[in-house]
């Protein structure tokens, strides 16, 4: 039984890594292409909606992906949004 639990934990850690990578890549791409606040917030909202939909569809099998995707996308959008607002203020 312990072997199955360890395998599940490894899969969820991998899902977490994929979720973090996808969130950073999507938010970073939106920021690099536009440099504006609204596209990043829109991409973050899409990431959150996708994470919630995946969690509702697959349940506990997608928990690692959800935990990697949702907080990271919100954090990255907030961080890069604050950086954009500071950069606009300096202009």
- As a dihedral over the C-alpha atoms of residue 82, residue 25, residue 33, residue 91, rounded to 10 degrees, the angle is 20
Chain position carrying tokens 């990578």: 21
Per residue in 23-51, pLDDT tens? 999 999 999 998 788 898 999 999 999 99
> How far apart are the C-alpha atoms of 91 and 78, rounded to whole Å?
20
Backbone angles phi, psi at 22, to 5 degrees: -65, -40
CA 81 from chain centre, in angstroms, equals 15
Mean pLDDT across 47-75? 92
Q: Residue 17: its pLDDT value, please?
A: 95
DSSP letter assigned to residue 35: -
> How far apart are the C-alpha atoms of 21 and 5, rounded to whole Å?
25
Lowest-pLDDT choice from 17-26, 33-42, 71-80 = 33-42
Question: Which residues fall within 8 angstroms of residue 12, CB to CB, at 6 or more apart?
Answer: 63, 64
């Amino acid at each position: 039984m312990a072997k199955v639990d360890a395998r599940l934990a490894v899969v969820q850690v991998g899902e977490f890594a994929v979720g973090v990578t996808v969130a950073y890549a999507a938010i970073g791409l939106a920021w690099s292409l536009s440099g504006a606040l609204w596209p990043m917030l829109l991409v973050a909202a899409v990431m959150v909606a996708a994470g919630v939909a995946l969690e509702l569809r697959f349940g506990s099998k997608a928990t690692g992906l959800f935990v990697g995707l949702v907080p990271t996308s919100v954090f990255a959008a907030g961080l890069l949004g604050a950086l954009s607002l500071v950069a606009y203020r300096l202009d």
